[in-house]
Structure formats: structure tokens, C-alpha cells
């Protein structure tokens, strides 16, 4: 073999392959770099937008509804924490949540629902959310957690609880399952009690957990508590007495209102029948009516003090004038006015105590009808009281161009017009305030309004003094008298109007104030359609007035103004105790 043949061959470099490989690497790197530059520099917003769409969410804070309390801080409405059980049907299916049917049986049992219906509600639902049950207790919620059914979850909410129950149900009102006020003060002051939730922008992970708080979208407003002028001690006392009287007299309904005379605040507003706001099943619409402001009745003799006050104030009569009512009836154009018996000639005070229709008619006919109607309006008849509650009725005080004498006469003894129990209580509150009219308030006042004078103090005091005779011997409401306090008031008994005239049903009323020499409380009691032989204001409404007023004065520590008869007899004379 030649030396040349034995020479080793050396590999030669293939330049074009290397160049192609390097080119491809550089090309890929360039593409990646260009794409990254494009995304990061030229068009970064699209990816940010897509990421934000997956992770950014707006959340709101839970806002508990404010409390409703009486003037002394006793709770009337409060929100308690509960939970809502719900399902995500997709998560249930994806997590094989239907495999263990025993868990669904336990869930249906604790929720008190039919198992088959519960399963079908979730299984047949194509959405992502379905309520299983609202407002479950914390104990039930904890049991549901322990079942660990995939896709079954809980979220917090609140339920309204009313500690006073039926005692103040129509006034306080109720909320629906979504915590929106739908009746009473809950409805009127919904925005005040609720406030508004704050809104936040947050970032959530795929499990729905908040991983970052980004910003505040909207500042929220804290809910406010509502402090009523109501005194639950008096409210409970009034409701109990009213309920007993309604049952005893087999009445259709009854209402009672107490007003604090110096301030115009409503201390009590009770109605029967009532309802339990904590148990909604079986509630009838008529039970929810706040009859003290929605139902108006012909007030009968309860308005006679206004006729006397108007006649005195306008100088038509004086306190010591007398009026002849013989022979017990009086013919007027359009009809005849009658008294229960012939009272003969009596002074103004006696005619008011004896409730003479003829005496009131003679005084009213000496006034222009517009003057009397304006006087009624000044005392709140036919107008709103000032409490600004939904459903309040103004009553009906007719306003027509032509009046017969008989129509003018009936206005004087409480027929031909209607008034609510609240309006009647305001009439006597104005008299007790010396002729000063203040708007009524269902909220506790921080400052007492000055009010408007609608009657001279002298005349108001004179009428109040006359009304004290109603509860004394010879008056029509002996059962309204209270030991230790002088009571001024007036009974009323009116027949209920029906189509074409008046029917056989009655409304019995008593309105008054106490103590008469230094008035503190004004009260109106209305009992609608009592059954049985007793249907007069002096025997049906007056005893309720006495019971509630006596208890109220004691609870408010109002000092007695007269010496109790038993104590006076014990010492031998009215002046024995100083």
C-alpha cells in the first residue's frame, strides 16, 4: 500500500447546514421576541382586558338593617343573622354530587322540603344558581356544611325579628324575605333604616376567593336606627285592655291612641285585631291595617266640645248663658233634631255634659257653616296629622256650596263627617294644650315645635273644665273616672251608615284628657261594632279609657291631683291629708 493510501482523511466542515440551523434558531428567537414586544409594548391592553375579565369582580358589603326602638330604647324590630342555602347545579353535576343520595335525604329533611322535588330542582336546572331555602338558622347552616355536598353552599343574609310581636305590629310593619319594608314604618323609613352598601373592585382566583382589593367604587352609607315616640309600657297596657274589650263586647275592631300633650308625640297607637309579625302564615290583610290612621268613623258627640269652643271663642255665647231645649225636639229645615229627654233650660256646661243635640244645634246655627268647618280643620279634622305615614286617611269633612239647616245641625253633633282615632286624640290634645296645635309625631322629638294657636287659652281651659262634669255624677261617663286624677272627656255613640241611611251597628267612642287641671295625656278609644245590649261610649269605650289612662299616669309618674275618696273617708274629711 502506498504511503498516500495510508494517509488519514479529515472531515470537512459543512458550512451551509450550520448556517441554516443558526438561521432557524435566530428566526424563532426573533419571532418570539417580536411577539413579546408586540404584546408588551404595542398591544398590551387586550391581554390585560382578557385577564381582568376572568379575575376582576365588583363586590358589595353586607349592610344590616337598622333597629327600630321605642323612646326608652326597647327594641321593636331588629335584624338577626341567618343564612341562605343555594346550589350551583353545574358544580353539583361536575362533582358527582348526586351519587350519594343519602346526603340529599338528610338535606331535604333539615330544610323541611320534599326530597324528590329538591333533587329535581337542582338536577333539571341549567343555570348556575338556585335557592334551596332562605333564612335558615345558623344551626341548620352548620349541619348543611357538614353534609359536604359538592355545589351546595351558603351565603349570609338577615331576618327581621319583632320582639313586641302583635302589640305594635300594624304600626312597626314588616319586611319581605329580601329585607325590604312592605308595611308600616318599615316601609315608610326603608331608605333610612337600610343605608346603602359600599362597592369594591377586587381580584378573585378561580375558586372565587378574593386575592386582592383594588379600589373603592362607591362609598356606602351606614344604616340608621329609628327611635319612635312610642312608650312600650303604655303600648302593652293599651293593647291588652283593648284586646280584652274587643273580645268581651264581641266587637269587629278597636283602636286606641295616646298623645303626650306638651310635645305632640304619640305614645301609644294600638289596634285589634292584630297579627304576629314573626309568623307570617295565615295573616289576613284586614289584620295588618293600622286602623288608628286608616279607618274613619262618624265621631258623634265626641266633637260637641268643638261647637261649644267655637261659640265661646266667637262671642256667640258665654260660659254662664243658658239655652232652652224644651220640649226635647227641634224642627229645622230638612228634618228634626232630638235629645234623649227634655232637658229644659240649662247652662252651656250642663248641655255639653248632658250631650244635648238641641243645644249644640242652636249654637251651630248662629255661625256660618264655613266658620264651623274652618274651626274643625284648625283642630285637625279633615287634614293630615303630621306623622307622614302611608295609608293615613284625612277623614271626610264635607265641603259643599249649599247646606240645609238639618245638615248644619248634624255637623254639630258629629254626623255627616268622619274622623280617625288619631284625629280625635289630637282634638283633645289641642284642648289640653290651651288651644295650641302641634303636628303629631310618631318619632321621638329632640325639640318641641312651638305650634300654632287655634283657640284662646281662656276658652280652651273653660271647655276642659266643663268636660270634667262628664265623668262625675250626672255625666255620661262615670266609668271613665280615675281615682286621684280629674278627667275631662266626652262620650260618643254613633250608628254606622249603610246604603240609604243608617244600619243597626254602632261605633262607641270616648276621648278625653288627664289630669284636667294640668293636662299631660290625651286619649281616644274607638270600639267598632260591639255586640250585645251594651253599645254606648260610656259603658264600652269609657272603661278602657279609665284602665289605660290610670296605668299610663302611674307609669309616667304623674302626681295625683285629687285626693282618692277612700283615703279622704279614712281621715274623715277631704282636707284631712295635706
- Which amino acids are annotated catalytic? 301
CA distance 290 to 168: 10
CA distance linking residue 489 with residue 470, whole number of Å? 6
Three-class secondary structure of residue 337 per DSSP: strand
What are the helix and strand counts (H, E) for the chain?
20, 19
Q: Give Cα separations from 494 to 52, 349, 529, 532 (angstroms).
A: 73, 22, 10, 16
Q: What is the DSSP letter of 7?
A: S
Closest CA to 336 of 226, 279, 280, 410: 410
Phi, psi for 482 (deg, rounded to 5): -130, 125
Other C-beta atoms lying within 10 Å of the C-beta of residue 91:
15
C-alpha separations of 171 from 35, 161, 255, 294, 541 in Å: 70, 15, 12, 11, 21
Q: Identify the CA nearest to 386 among candidates 420, 434, 342.
A: 420
Exposed e or buried b for every residue in 310-337, given b needs 16+ CB within 10 A? Answer: bbbbbebbeeeeebebeebebebeeeeb
Helix axes 304-313, 457-467, angle to 10 degrees: 140
C-alpha of 36 from chain center? 65
Give the Cα separation of 562 and 19 in Å (integer).
123
Q: What is the DSSP letter of 261?
A: T
Amino acid at each position: 500500500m502506498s504511503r498516500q493510501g495510508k494517509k488519514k482523511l479529515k472531515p470537512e466542515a459543512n458550512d451551509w447546514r450550520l448556517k441554516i440551523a443558526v438561521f432557524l434558531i435566530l428566526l424563532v428567537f426573533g419571532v418570539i421576541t417580536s411577539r413579546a414586544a408586540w404584546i408588551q409594548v404595542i398591544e398590551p391592553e387586550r391581554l390585560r382586558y382578557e385577564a381582568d375579565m376572568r379575575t376582576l369582580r365588583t363586590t358589595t358589603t353586607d349592610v344590616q338593617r337598622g333597629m327600630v326602638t321605642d323612646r326608652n330604647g326597647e327594641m321593636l324590630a331588629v335584624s338577626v343573622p341567618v343564612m341562605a342555602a343555594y346550589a350551583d347545579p353545574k358544580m353539583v353535576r361536575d362533582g358527582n354530587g348526586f351519587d350519594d343520595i343519602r346526603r340529599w335525604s338528610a338535606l331535604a329533611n333539615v330544610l323541611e322540603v320534599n326530597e324528590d322535588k329538591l333533587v329535581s330542582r337542582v338536577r333539571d336546572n341549567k343555570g348556575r344558581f338556585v335557592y334551596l331555602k332562605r333564612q335558615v338558622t345558623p344551626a341548620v347552616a352548620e349541619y348543611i356544611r357538614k353534609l359536604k355536598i359538592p355545589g351546595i353552599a351558603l351565603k349570609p343574609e338577615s331576618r327581621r325579628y319583632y320582639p313586641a310581636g302583635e302589640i305594635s305590629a300594624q304600626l312597626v310593619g314588616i319586611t319581605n324575605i329580601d329585607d325590604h319594608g312592605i308595611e308600616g314604618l318599615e316601609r315608610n323609613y326603608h331608605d333610612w333604616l337600610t343605608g346603602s352598601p359600599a362597592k369594591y373592585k377586587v381580584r378573585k382566583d378561580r375558586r372565587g376567593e378574593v386575592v386582592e382589593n383594588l379600589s373603592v367604587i362607591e362609598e356606602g352609607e351606614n344604616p340608621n336606627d329609628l327611635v319612635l315616640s312610642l312608650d312600650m309600657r303604655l303600648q302593652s297596657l293599651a293593647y291588652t285592655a283593648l284586646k280584652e274589650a274587643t273580645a268581651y263586647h264581641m266587637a269587629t275592631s278597636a283602636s286606641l291612641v295616646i298623645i303626650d300633650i306638651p310635645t305632640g308625640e304619640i305614645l301609644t297607637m294600638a289596634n285589634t285585631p292584630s297579627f304576629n309579625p314573626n309568623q307570617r302564615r295565615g295573616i289576613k290583610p284586614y289584620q295588618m291595617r293600622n286602623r288608628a290612621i286608616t279607618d274613619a268613623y262618624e265621631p258623634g258627640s265626641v266633637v260637641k266640645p268643638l261647637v261649644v269652643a267655637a261659640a265661646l271663642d266667637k262671642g256667640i255665647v258665654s260660659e254662664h248663658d243658658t239655652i232652652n231645649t224644651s220640649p226635647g225636639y227641634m224642627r229645622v229645615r230638612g228634618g228634626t233634631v232630638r235629645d234623649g229627654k227634655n232637658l229644659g233650660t240649662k247652662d252651656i256646661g250642663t248641655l255639653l255634659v248632658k250631650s244635648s243635640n238641641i243645644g249644640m244645634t242652636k249654637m251651630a246655627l248662629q255661625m256660618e257653616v264655613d266658620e264651623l268647618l274652618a274651626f274643625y280643620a284648625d283642630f285637625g279634622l279633615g287634614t293630615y296629622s303630621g306623622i307622614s305615614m302611608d295609608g293615613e286617611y284625612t277623614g271626610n269633612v264635607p265641603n259643599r256650596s249649599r247646606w240645609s239647616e238639618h245638615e248644619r245641625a248634624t255637623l254639630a253633633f258629629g254626623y255627616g263627617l268622619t274622623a280617625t282615632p288619631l284625629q280625635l286624640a289630637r282634638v283633645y290634645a289641642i284642648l289640653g294644650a290651651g288651644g295650641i296645635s302641634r303636628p303629631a309625631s310618631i318619632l321621638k322629638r329632640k325639640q318641641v315645635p312651638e305650634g300654632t294657636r287655634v283657640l284662646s287659652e281662656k276658652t280652651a281651659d273653660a271647655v276642659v273644665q266643663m268636660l270634667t262634669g262628664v265623668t262625675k255624677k250626672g255625666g255620661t261617663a262615670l266609668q271613665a273616672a280615675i281615682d286621684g286624677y280629674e278627667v275631662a272627656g266626652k262620650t260618643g255613640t254613633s250608628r254606622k251608615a249603610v246604603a240609604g241611611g243608617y244600619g243597626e251597628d254602632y261605633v262607641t267612642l270616648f276621648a278625653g284628657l288627664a289630669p284636667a287641671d294640668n293636662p299631660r295625656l290625651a286619649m281616644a278609644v274607638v270600639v267598632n261594632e260591639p255586640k250585645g245590649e251594651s253599645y254606648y261610649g260610656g259603658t264600652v269605650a269609657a272603661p278602657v279609657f279609665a284602665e289605660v289612662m290610670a296605668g299610663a299616669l302611674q307609669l309616667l309618674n304623674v302626681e295625683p291631683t285629687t285626693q282618692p275618696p277612700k283615703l279622704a273617708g279614712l281621715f274623715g274629711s277631704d282636707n284631712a291629708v295635706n
